[in-house]
Every structure is written in C-alpha cells, then in structure tokens.
Amino acid sequence: MKILVVGSGGREHALVWKINQSPSVSKIYCAPGNGGISRLAECVDIQATDVHSLSKFAKQERVGLTVVGPEVPLTMGMVDEFEKEGLRIFGAGKKSAEIEGSKSFAKDLMRKYGIPTAEYRTFISRDEAAGYIREKGAPLVIKADGLAAGKGVIPAKNIEEALDAVDLIIVKKAFGEAGNKIVVEEFLTGEEASFLVFTDGESVIPLPTSQDHKPIFDEDKGPNTGGMGAYSPAPIVTEDLHRQIMKEIIQPTISGMAAEGRKYKGVLYAGLMITDGKAKVLEFNARFGDPETQPLLMRMKSDIIPVLEATIDGNLSQIKVEWDERAAVCVVMASEGYPGSYQKGFEIYGLEETLKMPNVEVFHSGTVIKDGKIISSGGRVLGVTALEHGIKDAIGLAYRTVKDIHWEGVYYRQDIGRKALNCK
Ligand code: AMP
Ligand code: GLY
C-alpha cells in the first residue's frame, strides 16, 4: 500500500520512520517533508494546507492511506474533503478538530460534560474582558480563541499584563482572526503532562504518557516554543492518576463529542496540568504532539498501520498495541534565537555517524538537502531521540549523540528529562 504523510516536522519524520517499518507499506510520500524525511519517503512539493492539490495527488498516485500531522489542515477539513473523494485518511474531521481550533468550543464542551479544567469566561469585547479581569484579579491566562501556532496563550502576572494581553489580541489583532474572541482563564500551577489516545469515536487506546518542555531555556525559563524536548513515560502520571484521566477526562470527552454530533476519530491529545495528584485540562489538540510523537513512536513495538486503519474503520476494540518498556527521550536542537528571529542555511555536521547508532534516531524538522549536504532551514532543526532502560540512561544516550552533531549557532536545552528524575 502507498502512504501519504502530510506535514514537514519532526513529528512527521517519526511517523514516516514508523510507517516505513510496516510490511504492508510499499511506498511513502510526504508533503512537503524535509531533508531527513527524504531519505525514507518521496517528498512532494505540495503545502500541508493545500487540501485540494493533496487530494488530487492522492487520487492520481492511488495512495491507500493518508496520515495528517499538523492541526491547520485538520481544522480546514482535509479529512472530510478526502472522505468525500472516497480516499482513506487518518485524522480528526473538521467538526472534531474544533476541539483544538477553538479554545472557547473546547472550554464550553468541558463545562457541559463536567471535565476538569481551569475556570474561565469568553469575551469578544475588550471592555467586558477588562471588567472581568479587574473583578478576578491576577494571575490569569489570556488566550486567543483560534489557532495561533502556539503563541496565542499569554500568562499574566498582574492586571496590567492581563489588560495588555487583551489589547494585543482583540484590539491590535496580533493573531489576526484567531483573536476575534478570547478566553480569560484561571492560572493553574503544577506540572504538565501530555496524554494522547487513539480513538475511533467509541473505543480508546491510550499511548504511553509523555511530557513536553515548552519554554526555550533550562528550568522552564523564557518564552514558550513549539517544544524543546520530550520524554516518555512521564512518572508524574501514576497508575491512579492514569485511571482518573481516562475516567474523568478522556472518556467523557469522547462520549461528549459523539453526543454533540462530532464523533471523534484519530488521535486526541490532552495537555494536562497536574496539581496535588489531580489532572485538569489545559488544552486539547486534535493530532499527534510534536515533539512527544518522537519518543512515543520509538516506544511503539506494534505495526502502526493496523492501528491507523482500525481507527478509521471503527475497529479499535479489536486491536492490541504493544509498547517498549524502555524509556525514550528526545532533545530538540534548534537555531540560536528561536523562538524569536534566527538565521538558517548552515551546514549540519555529524549526522552520518548517528545513522549507525543503535537505539538512537535523529528526527529532522527544519532541514533541507542542498548539493548532498544537510542544511538548517527552521527554528527547531533536529530531535535527537534515544531509547534506553530508564529515563536516566535515555537522557545520557540522547545527550552523547547531541554532542556529536554541530552547526553554527546550534542551541538546545541541557535539562531535558531532568524533571522525570526528580519525580519520585
Ligand atoms: P495551550 O496552547 O493552551 O496548551 O497553552 C500553552 C501553554 O501555556 C501550556 O502548555 C501551559 O504551559 C500554559 N498554560 C495554558 N493554560 C494555562 C493555565 N490555565 N494556567 C497556567 N498555564 C497555562
Ligand atoms: N508539544 C506540544 C504540541 O504538539 O502542541
């Protein structure tokens, strides 16, 4: 069977890498892909948001299954469009993806179905938002309702910062139409974890737990990024907490979405804040996480294709997925300056050696190949992912590999995974 993976990040490289191991796969295309992906798949020069050209391509090439990485094509309705054309595709439909595409929709759903989350209100008027902010007091979190590439969430330590955030989103339109509406939310403290599940709208198969590292600097300092590293499992999610999350968060979300006429098929990702052993939802994503997917798929022992197919066909209850007991750690190597402005176009050295290393995969995000050389082309450039017995050894192997890879202006956090070691 021919597969098309849509997207160009480390998540998509990990998907292509995992799909490539399936005996049922004869060829993989990736649109648009990146330098690393091009070693395993034929990269096709079509943007991930060009739904029409992608469905035309899938038809022409007789693609048997398309797998969508990023959120934007999902919220645009790529899955619905493909299905209309009789094409098989893995991902959340447009009405389901709204759980990520509109934060107010997700919050209202959680309120309606009693799913634990931060207290909130939504506003379209700056003055009404300001009144609420003064009444509530700080700290608060101000969020643009729509998609803003992870930048639309502004924590505010005091009332002035909260009011500035409202102005930035509603008046200055810093995130465009995504800021027509805002959510003003209680500020939660604790430790974050990512909880991903496969679901066909009824049955649920949880992936192992994981944890991202959003801020750019060590000890979670500095501005948020797309994610600077991840590990799995996340020891903060104990067995008890796992049960609570499934019962109080995942199950009611899946059944609530079905009750709303938005039966959810695909991967559902709950971003959680854990406080005193209890989880609350910070946000939902309608897709695999990046970089969480890199360590998660390193730990997936089963063939991924039957899981994707069963999700589409509504047969997940008949599937068993096996996971590696070992821990996986992914350290993201980025361009200096990211998430602000940064330079690209530098040759990356040391990658050849890593290809031979057992239990290590270097997933590419912002790279291109020019004249046979691998060149940096984005903010997040590589995700060095290692699998070992225990988080400590996985951290060791990941960082030993990171030290062998260089380019001008490379930056990475030094403390990926450390929280898991402190968690007892
Ligand atoms: P989101 O895109 O909604 O996941 O938000 C991005 C990041 O902002 C999260 O990973 C948290 O670090 C932070 N965040 C979001 N909502 C809250 C909240 N209510 N309290 C504290 N931090 C939050
Ligand atoms: N790792 C965060 C995300 O995928 O949104």
- 3 state DSSP class of 296: helix
**CB-ligand 2 contact for 388 (6 Å cutoff):** no
Q: How many CB atoms lie within 10 A of CB 122?
A: 20
* Neighbouring C-beta atoms of residue 396, cutoff 10 Å: 15
What separation in angstroms does the CA of 265 have from each of 80, 100, 115, 256? 12, 14, 19, 13
Q: Looking at residue 424, what is its pLDDT?
A: 54
Specify the pLDDT at position 224: 87
27: helix, strand or coil: strand
Residues constituting the chain: 424
Q: How far is CA 273 from the centre of its chain?
A: 16
Which of 269, 272, 385 to mutate for ligand 2's pocket (most ligand atoms within 8 Å of CB)?
Answer: 269
Which of 141, 157, 221, 269 most suits a substitution to test ligand 1, by most atoms within 8 Å of the C-beta? 141
Q: Which alpha helices (H) appear in 7-120, and where do they start and end? A: 10-19, 51-60, 71-76, 78-84, 94-101, 103-112
Q: Which ligand ends up closest to the CA of 71?
A: 2
What pLDDT sits at residue 370? 95
Ligand nearest to the CA of 271: 1
Where the chain has pLDDT below 50, the residues are none
Angle between helix axes 103-112 and 251-259 (nearest 10 degrees) is 100
With tokens 């929709």, the residue in question is: 105
100 within ligand 2 shell (Cβ under 6 A): no
| CA of 103, closest atom in ligand 1 | 3
Is the separation of the CB atoms in 175 and 150 below 8 Å?
Answer: no
Beta-bridge mates of residue 194: 210, 271
Residue 218's alpha-carbon distances to 52, 214, 221, 232, 391, in angstroms, are: 42, 10, 6, 19, 18
CB of 225 shorter than 6 A to ligand 2: no
Instruction: Enumerate domains of the chain plus CATH numbers.
Output: 2-93 (3.40.50.20), 119-186 (3.30.1490.20), 191-318 (3.30.470.20), 327-422 (3.90.600.10)
Task: For residue 225, give the nearest of 169, 174, 149 by alpha carbon.
Answer: 149
Cα of 117 from ligand 1 centre, angstroms: 11
Q: What is the pLDDT of residue 396?
A: 98
Q: Is the distance from the beta carbon of residue 212 to the nearest atom of ligand 2 less than 6 Å?
A: yes
Distance CA 307, CA 286 (A): 17
Q: 420: CA distance to ligand 2 center in Å?
A: 18
Q: Which residues line ligand 1 (CB under 6 A)?
A: 118, 141, 150, 153, 155, 185-188, 192, 214, 224, 271, 282-283
Please tell me if the CB atom of residue 289 comes closer than 6 angstroms to any atom of ligand 2: yes
